[in-house]
Structures are given as structure tokens and as C-alpha cells.
Chains A and B, each alone.
Chain A
Amino acid sequence: MTAIPLWVRRPAGERVGWLRTVDHKEIGVLYIGMGIAFFALGGVEALLLRAQLATPEARLLDPETFNQAFTVHGVTMIFLAIVPLLVGFANYLVPLMIGAPDVAFPRLNALSFWLSLIGGIVLYFSFLAGGAPDTGWFSYAPLSERAFAPGTGVDYYILGLAVNGAGTIIGAINLAVTILLMRCPGMSISRVPLFVWMTLVTSVLILGAYPAFTAALVMLFVDRQLGGHFFDPSGGGQVVLWQHLFWFFGHPEVYIMILPAMGMISEVIPVFSRKPIFGYAFVAGSSVAIAFLSFSVWAHHMFAVGLGDTENAIFSATSMLIAIPTGVKIFNWIATMVGGRLRMTTAMLFAVGFIAMFVIGGLSGVSLAVVPIDLAVTDSYYVVAHLHYVLFGGTMLGIFAGTYYWFPKMTGRLLSEVLGRWHFWTTFVGFNLTFLPQHWLGAVGMPRRVFTYAASTGWGPLNLVSTIGAATLAVAMVIFFVNVVRSLRSGEIAGDDPWDAFTLEWSTTSPPPPENFASIPTVTGRRPLWDRKHPESRDAR
């Protein structure tokens, strides 16, 4: 058996190679590969941070190294790991799910991947070129201005993220046009799989949010390199302008990171409950509501800035409002399971884990919409706990669910369920050990982004527990990596439809042929494969 899998079957002589491919499936794999590689780097950075914080007043990392590590950790996980992983899955799956032969602009698709990757490489090059950025992933002005960050780190941040962002914007245009104009006959927009819905909404969010961040980066560049005063009070500028622009992008960014993962589990849960999703319209509609509302909540990251009680109250209201469409999805998923016949495969375990952890992350998030509570715990480890519960407990567990579910489609082989269970439970325990104590640490006064803390604070024991959790997570990742490598080599052959699933990607071979389908299908409902297999009990819509 060849060690490197043939992701896309082609007649001999037709392969163009990874560097020149314009096939959405191969580009999807490239994105996923990029995401995995940067996730590993970001994970190493996290382990370094946790090692330094395990005991009070430790001297494992000097403050400058620590500050670079947490800055790059944040940028890596968000822009170079999570977004590429999600875009990768979207790239791979969306044309298959809508019965299309590829995305709308295959060459632009390749361009968007290479731009995303080059942006990441530019950022990491900074380590070799005088130091990585060290002003935090949100790089507040004026700390990020030349006067206080004289090295080139922030300049690499600007350049790397501008290039990476351009790639993401182009990718979003591609996915949006694909979903809007390339659905197969019969597939109205109200019949597309929920993962496709979420991808469409996410694309709209990217197109609304990323340009605002690009504008902020341009302004910071003008300040740093051309002597400008956008964020310089001594020149008439206001430091708060950066925060407004950044969070106008930053808040939709977190929905960009969660919606596709919600889309993934909206595919996994129905299949392993043997039932259609409960309330398709509500789940789809709620994502549209989230998209609108996400542009109205940004200043809940700025409650302590002193904007004023009226402004704070408005953003508090919109932030509570957005919790509603976000939260009701949970009821839809549970209702899907009620009355079903649940198969607790590893994919289903991770999907259920997503729900369980997202409830916690969602509740801590809503508590942060309560201004006085936020004023107590913002900028502390409580927020670190919250964000990891939604982005790791939520998004990453969702991505793992998607991985165990779609790996067979992409590679033709199943991942090991035995190793999968070990992976899940080690992750679950490690994750909660790492981040649950951080809620308490924040509440009793431990701020974010501190390279150490005084022994007299008494924060040592919980920090140690958190570090042990991080080490456990590292073990879980190793288990996963072993699972992937072994399954690529000698995993059980999957066949076209190993899960007895509902949507079009399972109606073609594993892996699919270059043109995806032998002939473009026609659909009459939301679960075309179910309809094909059970013509006597077709879906009504």
C-alpha cells in the first residue's frame, strides 16, 4: 500500500501535482494540511506558555519570549489553524454536497490557498528576522505603534495578516458564488445541507469583517512606516479607533470560526441519530440572524474603555440578543437526538462533546454581556476560559467530529474507532482540566497575558492543574496523529457510504473522482441520498 494516499483518483498521467492543482478537493486537503501544521505550532506555543505559568515566579521563559509566544499562539490558532481547517473542509465538501463538479473559480481557489499560506510563512519568518510580534493577537494601539514596539515584529504581523486576509476574502467570494449559482437541479437554497448554509453565511461574514481589519492594518502601517497619527494621541489621533475597527472585525471573526463547526455537527448528529435535523429552517434562519447581529455587538469587548453607560447598555443588549439564535441551535440538536436511534461513533462523541462544552462557553459568554460582570472579569483568565470553551470545546471538537466523519470520504479509509475513543476521552478530560480552573483564576484576579504571577497571590495550584491539563491535551493530539497515520496506511476500506448517510457527497466514490460525480444528480428533498435509498419514505421537502 502506498504511504501517501491518492486523494483524488485520476487516470494515469493526469495529475498536475500539489503545487499546481486547481481541484477543490486537493485544495481542500492543502488547507487542512496547513491547518494541522499550524495547529501543531500553536499547540507547542501553548505548551510553552503553560509550562512557564505552572508555578509562580518561574523563569523558564523570559518575558519577551513569553509575550511573543502568546501573541503568535493567538494569531496562529485563529488565522492559520482554525480558519484554514474550516475553509479546507468547506472547499472539499461544498461542491460535493450541492452536486457541482468544482467551485466557481478553481484558479482563484488555488490563489486563495497560497496567499493564506504565504501570509502565515511571512508571520513566522519574523522569528528569524529580529523577533516575532509581541503585542498580543489584537495588537492594541498605541502599544503597537513604533514608539512602543520599535522592532519589526508588528510589521510582520501587518504584512502576514494582510496577505492571509486577502486569501481568505478571495476564498469567501468563491464559496459564496459556488453556493449561490452552482447547485444541482432541484436543490433550492432551502434544500442545501446545513454545512452549506453555514458556509454561505460564514462567507458573508468574512466579506463584511475582513476588509475592516485590512483597513485597520493599513492605518497601523501608515502610522508605523509613514509617520501617521491614526492612533497617536500626541498627533491628534485616538487610540480607541483601533479597538473599534479591530472588534468590528473581531467579533464576526468568532462567528466565522463557530458557524462552520456548527454546520459540521448539524450533518453528523442527524446521520448518527437516524433522523433529519429537527427544525432545519430555524437552524438555517438562526445563522442568518447571527450574521446580522454579529456586526452590532463589537463594543462588548470594550466595556472597560469608558465609552459611556448608554453605549455600553446598547452593546449589552445586542450581545444578549445574539445569544438567542446561537443558543436555540443547541435545543435543535438535542431534539434531533430525541426519538432517534443513536450510534455513538467517535464522530458522534465529538459532536455531543461540542454541545456539552459549547453550553459552558455560551453561558460564560452571556455572563460577559452583563456589563458589571464584564467589568469585573474582562481581560482576565475568565475570558481566556470562555474563549477556549467556545473555540476549542466548540470549534475544535466540531472539527474533530467532521474529521472522523469525512476522513473516509477523503481517503477511502476509516479512522480507528478504538483510537478514536481514546482520543476523545483524553481530549475531553485534558481540555476541562486545562480551562475549567481558569474561570476561577480570572474571577479572583489573575489578568491575561502575564508571563508570571506573584507567589503571594495563591494562584499557583490552579495554574498547575491547568498545565497538567495542557500536557494531557498534548497526549490526546499524539493519539490522534497516530490514528491518522495508521489509518492512512492500513485503515479499514470505507466504501462510498460507510455511515448510511443522507447527503450527496456519500453518493459518489471514496475518494471522489476528479469531476465528483459520474453525472450531475437531480434532487427532490433535503436528504437526497436518503430519498434514493428509501423511495417509499421520501422527505416531504
Chain B
Amino acid sequence: MRPPADAIGTLSLIVGVIALLIFIGVEGALVYAIWRYRASRLVAGEAAAFEGNRRLEIAWTAAPALILAVVFVLTLGTMAEINGAGVAPAMRIEAIGHQWWWEFSYGGVKTANELHIPVDTPVDLEVTSADVIHTFWVPELGPKKDMLPGVTNRLRLLARRAGSYDGQCAEFCGIEHAWMRIRVVAESQSDFDAWLRTQTQPRATIETKAEPIFLANICVNCHTIRGTAAAGTAGPDLTHVGARATIGAGVLLNGVGRMRAWLADPQRYKPGALMPSVPLSDADLDALAAYLVSLK
């Protein structure tokens, strides 16, 4: 199967060329008419009084109709193709949109904001929302799909090239709609298997100093770190947050310094986000930031 993005690209090219030809033709006729029939360059006298030409009008109604009929047939073909008609998905991943982050579930194994898929593998993303309408959109990977609460939609993804693909939410979903970014990582089957294996495990390190800080604060109300008592589900799963390239759904790159800044004052970077600022001492912040980044 062709990657949906490629199918759309081909159709866009065809439609684009047709549009360009029409554009040149019509604008050209307009410019010509203005130049040729300017009163200043014509001899005196009134204009010809022809008011209509039935055959001409029928012709220029039929011609666009014909072109559109052709485009419509091509449309139907591409629609079927990008949905993966006749090609069964090799895996299904659940994607749930939240204000303002992404929850991904691989058969119950949860992660957030960064989606990994194997290359050359048709993947069905089953999308829904936990609150308002969001839209999953990674332009290089294909079309977008709305995520509606109470409904499950399906989006076919297929990456032929390994690498990172960026996208973001495309349905206005509230104050931080602009910072609901997605990163999709397409990798070889073996790399993907290794990644999923890691994701399935509980948290990587047994940390004795920072973990109690996490568990003693309100962090646990919203976040899960598997392997600890923290099992909140209102916010992203943090079991392997250290392995992700960004934090805050793309608002900051990952790293100890930025993690610390985020923890100190999330409202500074994402005003309106549902994560409150928790007053912590400098030492606690240092420890917590290092701990979270170590959760790979």
C-alpha cells in the first residue's frame, strides 16, 4: 500500500496542475479583456451590444462540469486508498486526546505525546477524546482525523522512511491548543520492538531520594509511574518520560534543566495548562528533575 501522504500528494499535484491551468486561462482572459478593450485605446463610438450566446454559455458550463467529474472519480479512488482499503492493519494503537496532551495505548501499555511505529507497517490509530474535540494531524504521515468524545474514529498510518515526524492538534481545543504537539518516531521493527519492550516494563531505576518527593506531593493525583504507588490518570503517564524528546506536549525539549524549569512553573511555559505550580524547594526540584529525566 502507498503511504497515505503520497497518495494525497499525487492527487494534490493533479488538482494543482488543473487549477494552475484554469488560473492562467481565466486571469489571462481578464487581463487581455482589460488591455484590449480599454476605452482610451479604442476609436470613438459605443460598444457592440451582444448580450448572450447560448451555445457559448452551455459550453463553458459543460467544460468545468466535465473536469470536475474526472476529479471526482480520482477523489473516490484516493479516498479508498488512504483508508487502507483491502490492506489489513498490522497493529492497532489507541490514541486519546486530552486538553492539552496525547495519550497513546499499545494494548494497555500507556505512554504520552510521542508515538512510535515500525516502518513499512500499516498501523491503525483508533482515536477518541477524553474531553473536547481534538484532531490528530501529522502532515508528512497522512490525513488528519478528528477525535470526538463518545466516538472512536480510525486513522491509517504508514511510514516508509525511518525518522521523526512532527505534527500538532488541528481542532481548536481551548487555551493551549497551540502547544499540543505530536512527535511520531518511525523505526525499524527491531528498534520498535525494543522500545515497546521497555515501555511495557515498570519504571527503570530504583530511586530512593527523589521518588518519595514525587509520591508525597500532588503529582500522584494526575500521573502514573508504574512500579510505584503513583497511579493517577488525569495527566500523562511518566513511567518512561525520560526517553521522550520533548515535554509538555512539545512546549520544551527534554533535559534536566528544562524539566526543572517546567516543574518549577509549568504555567510560565503553558499558561492555562491543567498542571498546577507546586511549591518545592530548590533541592527538591533538582532531585525531581534528575529523577524524571532518568526514567528512560
- The answer to whether A and B touch in the complex, with CB atoms under 8 Å apart, is yes
Q: Interface residues, chain A, CB within 8 Å of chain B?
A: 62-64, 67, 134-136, 140, 142-143, 148, 233-234, 238-240, 273-282, 304-306, 309, 312-313, 316-317, 320-321, 323-324, 327-328, 330-332, 334-335, 337-344, 352, 355-356, 359-360, 363, 366-367, 370-373, 375-376, 378-380, 443-445, 447-454, 457, 537, 540
Closest to A339 in B: B48
Q: A330 contacts B172, CB within 8 Å?
A: no
Residue in A63, A305, A359, A449 whose beta carbon sits within 8 Å of that of B26 in the complex: A359
Q: B39 contacts A370, CB within 8 Å?
A: no
Q: A313 contacts B79, CB within 8 Å?
A: yes
Give min CB distance, B175 to chain A, whole Å.
5
Q: In whole angstroms, how far apart are the Cα atoms of A339 and B149 in the complex?
A: 59
Q: In whole angstroms, how far apart are the Cα atoms of A23 and B64 in the complex?
A: 45
Q: A143 contacts B172, CB within 8 Å?
A: yes
Closest to B19 in A: A363
> A372-B143, A373-B11 are known contacts. Are A359 and B27 too (CB-CB below 8 A)?
yes
- Chain B positions within 8 Å of A355 at CB level: 30
Q: B75 contacts A370, CB within 8 Å?
A: yes
> A63-B272, A334-B29 are known contacts. Are A320 and B167 too (CB-CB below 8 A)?
no
Q: Number of contact residues on B: which range applies?
A: 35 or more
> A330-B26, A339-B37 are known contacts. Are A450 and B75 too (CB-CB below 8 A)?
no
Q: B135 contacts A334, CB within 8 Å?
A: no
> A62-B271, A328-B60 are known contacts. Are A279 and B51 too (CB-CB below 8 A)?
yes
Q: In whole angstroms, how far apart are the Cα atoms of A331 and B170 in the complex?
A: 37
Main secondary structure of the interface of B (DSSP, over half): mixed
Give min CB distance, B250 to chain A, whole Å.
7
Q: B47 contacts A273, CB within 8 Å?
A: yes
Q: Is B72 interfacial (CB 8 A cutoff)?
A: yes
Q: Is B262 interfacial (CB 8 A cutoff)?
A: no
Q: B153 contacts A379, CB within 8 Å?
A: no
Q: Is B257 interfacial (CB 8 A cutoff)?
A: no
Q: With contacts A238-B151, A304-B143 known, what are 5 further pairs, Cβ within 8 A? A: A240-B148, A275-B51, A277-B51, A352-B30, A537-B49
Q: Is B195 interfacial (CB 8 A cutoff)?
A: no
Q: Is B88 interfacial (CB 8 A cutoff)?
A: no
Q: B177 contacts A140, CB within 8 Å?
A: no
Give min CB distance, A537 to chain B, whole Å.
7
Q: In whole angstroms, how far apart are the Cα atoms of A140 and B22 in the complex?
A: 35
Q: A148 contacts B174, CB within 8 Å?
A: yes
- Chain A positions within 8 Å of B47 at CB level: 273-275, 339-341
Q: Is B188 interfacial (CB 8 A cutoff)?
A: no
Give min CB distance, B113 to chain A, whole Å.
14
Q: B65 contacts A370, CB within 8 Å?
A: no
Q: A142 contacts B133, CB within 8 Å?
A: yes
Q: In whole angstroms, how far apart are the Cα atoms of A371 and B22 in the complex?
A: 20
* A and B contact pairs by CB, cutoff 8 A, 19 listed: A67-B175, A140-B171, A238-B150, A275-B50, A275-B51, A282-B57, A282-B61, A321-B68, A328-B61, A334-B33, A339-B47, A342-B34, A373-B11, A375-B143, A376-B12, A376-B142, A379-B144, A445-B168, A451-B178
